[in-house]
Chain A
Amino acid sequence: MAMEMRLPVARKPLSERLGRDTKKHLVVPGDTITTDTGFMRGHGTYMGEEKLIASVAGSVERVNKLICVKALKTRYIGEVGDIVVGRITEVQQKRWKVETNSRLDSVLLLSSMNLPGGELLGQGVLVQVSPSLVKRQKTHFHDLPCGASVILGNNGFIWIYPTPEHKEEEAGGFIANLEPVSLADREVISRLRNCIISLVTQRMMLYDTSILYCYEASLPHQIKDILKPEIMEEIVMETRQRLLEQEG
């Protein structure tokens, strides 16, 4: 029986291959950002001995008089108007505790279930990524032309599900649609999932166009091959190029 064996090999960091450098001011904790006391301190900084010192490792962002340090990877910090996808972890008397990849669990009141506040999702696949990789857009619900739909939660939880054939108004409560999903749909969904994971590994921002291009770039390969490092790099490079062409 033929088996596939892989050997680990040192790889060159991807940033070298991209051949560009960053213009941002990068700091690590303990670094003095400025000794000028006129600035207001934002997230990621603290005042120590009349100096503004960084408390996370990331890039300095200056907006007028406000200085903050944006960390590379943090838990989700909610903002008004964000769309989030969560997982119910606890059921209490009148509310549910939802895990949303943030510092504390979120609360979903039962009374807000039929309102636009909370919507229960049926069958699908959840992918957890870092919140900083989800791009802020006007809408986060996307029906991709390849045959599946995607909800990009701002908190880094991404829900991939088969596009429902007809959108009907849910009059009463939530009736879980437990019909088995077809094989073609399943394949599309797993391919999408692997594409999202490869984009995340190469630290690319996630939005509908990047996911779609990545999906198209991955079509020549088998679904299970997408997660191999060299194929992942190839697909993401192609996606990057297409996105650059589209912008330029």
Chain B
Amino acid sequence: MAGLELLSDQGYRVDGRRAGELRKIQARMGVFAQADGSAYIEQGNTKALAVVYGPHEGMGQGWTQGSQLKGARGRHMQDRERKTGGFVLEIRGSRARALPDRALVNCQYSSATFSTGERKRRPHGDRKSCEMGLQLRQTFEAAILTQLHPRSQIDIYVQVLQADGGTYAACVNAATLAVLDAGIPMRDFVCACSAGFVDGTALADLSHVEEAAGGPQLALALLPASGQIALLEMDARLHEDHLERVLEAAAQAARDVHTLLDRVVRQHVREASILLGD
């Protein structure tokens, strides 16, 4: 796209932000009464909703993405998925999937058909959703204290309502708030942000325009108090001399996200505490 400057000479990006500036974040916890925990987050125009159920009894095979299962059983599951619109019933009590010493974390990512510019035809079960689900699961298995709940299962469902770049980050942030809302013990917050590299400068919190431009982009999920990385993901080519700078930009942005989420959680806890009375 000739003529579209991702970073102007004065240091302004396409939407007027500076290189290390985040988009406006608004978040709310406890949006669904029926779930154990839920949260909604808006990062600029990216909107994500996360719902957490658990810890509860381990469930057997039944709730999976169609492409994960192979063979005749897989085909049967896929038919059921199509007929029921993608929701397969869970079978309780199957010991096959429950782990004896810790909790099983099960994440599912779904993006609404109206979330992108062009209407998506397949909200769940496609390769990208599977991969996101797996990444979310890795991220949260690192943060949730699973040893405290053996043989149970924690389900995290994330849905993206509007995708304008940084969907992984928004999902992680929303899921963190939802897990906190459910009262599931975690080591620390998990704060995530994306970062890119343009013209020798590292940009934090990429929007869709910046992601689509094709430069290298990195997604980082951080545990802010200890500075430990829960997940770092990049599939682009970046010279290793630049990695340090981009990583630092993403880490700083994640810490800024933490400041905001921390404020939201404290406000929510304070409000609930006041209502309950002393």
| Count: A-B pairs, CB below 8 Å | 115
A203 touches B276 (CB 8 A): yes
By a CB distance below 8 angstroms, the chain B residues around A143 are none
A59 touches B273 (CB 8 A): yes
Q: Which residue of B lies closest to A243 (CB)?
A: B277
A57 touches B180 (CB 8 A): yes
State in angstroms the CA–CA spacing of A200 and B30 once bound together: 13
A15 CB within 8 Å of chain B: yes
Mask: chain B, 223-244; 1 = CB below 8 Å from A; 0 = not? 1111000000000000000000
Tell me how many residues of B have a C-beta within 8 Å of chain A: 41
A46 touches B189 (CB 8 A): no
Mask: chain B, 179-209; 1 = CB below 8 Å from A; 0 = not? 0111111111100000000000000000000
* Contact flag A18-B275 (CB < 8 Å), given A26-B270, A72-B183, A75-B56: yes
* Contact flag A46-B55 (CB < 8 Å), given A22-B270, A22-B278, A26-B269: no
Q: Which residue of A lies closest to B180 (CB)?
A: A57
Q: Which residue of B lies closest to A26 (CB)?
A: B269
Which of A97-105, A115-123, A165-173, A188-196 lies at the binding interface? Answer: A97-105
By a CB distance below 8 angstroms, the chain A residues around B225 are 30, 53
* Contact flag A29-B186 (CB < 8 Å), given A15-B270, A56-B180, A57-B180: yes
B270 touches A105 (CB 8 A): no
CB B272 to nearest CB in A, in angstroms, measures: 5
A239 CB within 8 Å of chain B: no
By a CB distance below 8 angstroms, the chain B residues around A72 are 181, 183, 269, 272-273
By a CB distance below 8 angstroms, the chain B residues around A21 are 274
CB B264 to nearest CB in A, in angstroms, measures: 10
A90 CB within 8 Å of chain B: yes
Q: Which residue of A lies closest to B149 (CB)?
A: A103
Q: Which B residues lie at the A interface, using CB under 8 A?
A: 33, 36-37, 54-57, 92-93, 145, 149, 151-152, 180-189, 223-226, 262, 265-266, 268-278
Knowing that A24-B273, A72-B273 touch, tell me 19 more A-B residue pairs with CB under 8 angstroms.
A15-B271, A18-B274, A21-B274, A28-B189, A28-B265, A46-B145, A46-B187, A53-B187, A55-B145, A56-B184, A57-B265, A72-B181, A72-B272, A75-B36, A75-B183, A90-B92, A97-B92, A104-B56, A205-B276
User: What are 18 A-B contacts with C-beta separation under 8 Å?
Assistant: A14-B275, A20-B274, A21-B274, A23-B278, A28-B262, A28-B266, A29-B185, A29-B187, A30-B224, A53-B188, A57-B180, A57-B268, A72-B181, A103-B54, A103-B56, A104-B57, A105-B92, A205-B276
